[in-house]
Structure 1
Amino acid sequence: MTKQKLTKRVVESAPVPETGEGRIWDSEIAGFCVRIYPGTETKQGHAARAVRRIFAIKYRVRGIQRWLTLGEFGDGPDKLTAERARREAASVVVDARRGIDPGEARRRIVGLTVKGMVELYLEKGPNDKPTKREATWAVDRTNLERHVVPLLGKMVLETVTRDHITGMIRSITAGKTARDVRTVRRGRSIVKGGAGIADRTYSTLRATFNWAIDKGHFAGPNPCAKVKREIRPAVERFLSESQAQALITALDALEAEKTLSERQGAVFRLLLLTGARRNEIAGLRWTEVDFDRRRLVLPPSRTKAGGRTGDRRISLNDVAFRILERLHRNRDRSQFVFPASKGDSGYATSEPKIWRDKVLPKAGLEGVRIHDLRHSFASFALADGASLPMIGKALGHANSRATERYAHLSDDPVRALAERIGERFSPKI
């Protein structure tokens, strides 16, 4: 019985039998082989079917001998290279030793495209990741359907390389997938590009490939692995006390001018006063407001940390409490504190546009993001002497690493103390 390590050269140069089947066994993986079948000819002497070289493996599971065809040798989208066949054969051996029959357990779909994988992930993935929030799935869907599918959707999974992923990131960063999409619910959806969107899309696609590999739809390796990306510095801006006051003054003025409703202004006030995330406040339900204990209680499905930290409890200071109390007195039948102006089942989602077009120009805070209100809450808390663990708890961080970004701000109160000491002695020096 011929045994050699099955490489590209060995498989290509293997003798072709005149009839029947030839077979070369691998010298390293027991049961792994290539089966060689001769081509056929027509009466005119032309080949009707080329020589076929099929990778297969013979294995034993639970005492029963089985055969599994891995695929045909070649470089095409539905073919296997010798290296890839070797990895699949090794995986079969591992499964068999664990008592799993790879022939039954494997569900790899031959010729599955990136678009097909995306559709499977969005359909089946939520059942496999029950703690992942609906809002996060909605963002994943947008990233995959609006950016990945237009660029890579038609490619068969086995043909996607690291270079294709790098090209995708470059295209999204350059805005090549940006467009204005008509939707049923909101009428239109503005799909933007840029470095931030490219980075999040890459992370989503990497997770999608990992899921497909884990579920047996793709043999791997993940083409997103080890892709070199430009490291973007974290963008964080903290309002000074005077800037925060300018924001409040601007909200007061816009409400007085009737260009901003009380409810719209309340969203931004509560974000600054609580350090909550935008959707935690914008999507707030009355059932989540505990007036007796002066706090918000958000279920895991409404928090970024999900089931890792349980319910998220946000304490309400007196100003925030009075805002919600006033809104409650004037509430309508909606379950939401900030219901959508149209329809009766959703909450308002217009904050980014209002913030950009009305609030920022009025307050003179160009470039400040809504999320920077959350950073500012942490900044003010640290300046007042709060510890990083306490700030992390207030912000609902699942681990300390997320809070450590604020560590450099602890110099500010120390510096202020030093300045006060300096002022005490400045006339004498």
Structure 2
Amino acid sequence: MTKQKLTKRVVESAPVPETGEGRIWDSEIAGFCLRIYPGTETRQGHAAKPVRRMFAIKYRVRGIQRWLTLGEHGDGPDKLTADRARKEAASVVVDARRGIDPGEARRRIEGLTVKGLVELYLEKGPDDKPTKRDSSWAMDRTNLERHVVPLLGKMALDTLTRDHITGMIRSITAGKTAKDVKTKLRGRSIVKGGAGIADRTYSTLRATFNWAIDKGHFAGPNPCAKVERKLRPAVERFLSEAQAQDLIAALDALEADATISERQGAVYRLLLLTGARRNEIAGLRWTEVDFDRRRLVLPPSRTKAGGRTGDRRISLNDMAFGILQRLYKTRGRSQFVFPATKGDNGYATSESKIWRDKVLPKAKLEGVRIHDLRHSFASFALADGASLPMIGKALGHANSRATERYAHLSDDPVRALAERIGERFSPKA
């Protein structure tokens, strides 16, 4: 842990981390620190973000640990010099010793509402969670803006209770926030309700409050904590070998009569053959296909685990490798393996509709989801004797807990072995 007196020279010369957050703790005032966040380069449609140096203090009041962001380093009217930040930090320590929470007092003066917190989280959160994917942030924005804000947006944070959170979950489940939103010229965003959306929205809001507490924007406790929910049983389906063969035969037939193209059918074949997630295949770029080593190499920004596991490497068996070789011969100018039919920059996003309207009826696999192809890959691997750690590595899981859902499948090959042994001693007809 780095400790030194936070002076103007120390603050301005503090090293900037490549990712995440750097901290320097003051050597004189306990809990007083400088938090350094790296900037970002200019991206299409987004301006570059400068390096940020924030003064903060961690303190304990009435037995509870708190964080309070004091402000950003600088000389402007809305910035803090090192000397001024030191005085504010010392004042926080004195108040905390008296049982006064200065952070709570500040938040009450500001009157931060749930809507204000949502806006703050969506603005500042990406800097604090650099490994979280853009698609995950887009989902968070939808959950918060389309469901939380309409129901709780006007409420002050310190008036929110578990009963309000429970009511929110009940309302979303009942579809009270569902609507058809016009987003742009000929654009629509169909906002759905239901138990699944309610559960994901609750989890997003809980994470939002945890972030706010950690960053000192809210004194807590988290109103989403200890909320009793009706847990939904995990819905997982695994294709049998015969069903998988039926799926392949259905894709062959649909391609043969030009109901779907070979490129459209290849998406589902690769999902079954690799165990990859839908967007990992649908959004595949040619630069991510390593033909020499017969594998896919996806950067952290394209994987669910993000930077926790580095690049995701997906091995290609002969069948999957052959599919990509054939597609490469007919590639166009697009960087994507499965380019959109309209436009030059995007990738196809119609796999769900094609799956629902064409593939499932032909294969007679009612109720099977595209994601179940990933589960089926794991099921076949386990039946062939692969260990759970090996399956987790193949599926790109960040921890073993995600793979443990397949543990019960290990009974199937064991049972088959027992049956074969039993047949040795059964009476012969």
Per-residue deviation at 1:421? 2.2
Unaligned 5+ runs, structure 2: 1-27, 31-59, 69-84, 94-101
State the secondary structure of the residue aligned to 1:182.
strand
Correspondence for 2:410: 410
Counterpart in the other structure of 2:214: 214
The alignment status of 1:100 with 2:89, answered yes or no, reads: yes
What are the equivalent positions in structure 2 for 1:410-429 lying under 5 Å apart? Answer: 410-428=410-428
Relative distance call for 1:329 and 1:94 in structure 2 (3 A) is closer
2-structure distance, mates of 1:322, 1:171: 49
* One-letter code aligned to 2:89: I
Instruction: Output aligned runs, 1:25-424, within 5 Å.
Output: 100-101=89-90, 108=107, 110-184=110-184, 187-424=187-424
Deviation at 1:364, TM superposition (A): 0.9
CA distance in 2, matches of 1:284, 1:357: 23
Shift of 1:216: 2.3
Would the alpha carbon gap of residues 111 and 324 (structure 1) be closer, same or farther in structure 2, given more than 3 Å must change?
A: same
Q: How many angstroms apart in 2 are the aligned matches of 1:103 and 1:403?
A: 46
Is contact 1:392–1:400 with CA below 8 Å preserved after alignment? yes
The two structures, once aligned, show a CA RMSD in angstroms of 2.6
> Is the Cα–Cα contact under 8 Å of residues 339 and 347 in structure 2 kept in the other structure?
yes
1:314 counterpart SS class: strand
Q: Which residue type is aligned with residue 424 of structure 1? A: R
Deviation at 1:209, TM superposition (A): 1.1
Contact 1:280 1:302 in 2 (8 A): yes
Is contact 2:131-2:306 (8 Å) kept? yes
C-alpha distance in 1 between matches for 2:337 and 2:271 = 14
Residue by residue over 1:99-143, the C-alpha shift from the partner in whole angstroms, topping out at 9 and shown as x without a partner, is 934669957362212111111111110001001111111111111
Distance in 1 separating the partners of 2:200 and 2:160: 19
Instruction: Compute the displacement of 1:217 (Å).
Output: 2.1
Q: C-alpha displacement at 1:339, in angstroms?
A: 1.2
User: Identity over the aligned pairs, expressed in percent?
Assistant: 84
Look up the match of 1:19: none
Query: CA shift at 1:303, angstroms?
Result: 0.9
Q: Which amino acid aligns with 2:396?
A: G
SS in structure 2 at match of 1:427 = coil
Q: TM-score, normalised by structure 2?
A: 0.75
CA distance in 1 between counterparts of 2:216 and 2:248 reads: 54
For 1:369 and 1:93, how far apart are their aligned partners in 2? 44
Counterparts of 1:145 and 1:222, CA distance in 2: 19
- Deviation digits for residues 17-55 of structure 1 (CA, Å, limit 9, x no counterpart): xxxxxxxxxxxxxxxxxxxxxxxxxxxxxxxxxxxxxxx
Distance in 2 (alpha carbons) for counterparts of 1:329 and 1:186: 35
Q: Deviations over 1:267-289 (max 9, x none)?
A: 11100000001111111111110
Higher gyration radius (CA)? 1
Q: Which runs of 5+ in 1 are unaligned?
A: 1-60, 64-86
The structural deviation recorded for 1:314 is 0.3
Q: Any idea what SS the aligned residue of 1:328 has?
A: helix
Q: Which amino acid aligns with 2:311?
A: D
Look up the match of 2:41.
Answer: none
Aligned to 2:44: none
Distance 1:415 1:154, change over 3 A: same
SS in 1 for 2:89: coil
Residue correspondences, number: 346
Amino acid at match of 1:294: R
Instruction: State the 1:232 CA deviation.
Output: 1.7
**What TM-score do the two structures reach when normalised by structure 1?**
0.75
1:406 aligned partner, one-letter code:
Y
Output the amino acid matched with 1:410.
Answer: S
**SS of the residue 1:229 aligns to:** coil
Alpha-carbon shift at residue 236 of structure 1 (Å): 0.8
Deviations 1:73-123 (A, max 9, x none): xxxxxxxxxxxxxx9776699989999346699573622121111111111
Contact 2:112 2:156 in 1 (8 A): yes
Q: What does residue 10 of structure 1 align with?
A: none
**CA drift at 1:262:** 1.5
Q: CA deviation at 1:180?
A: 1.8
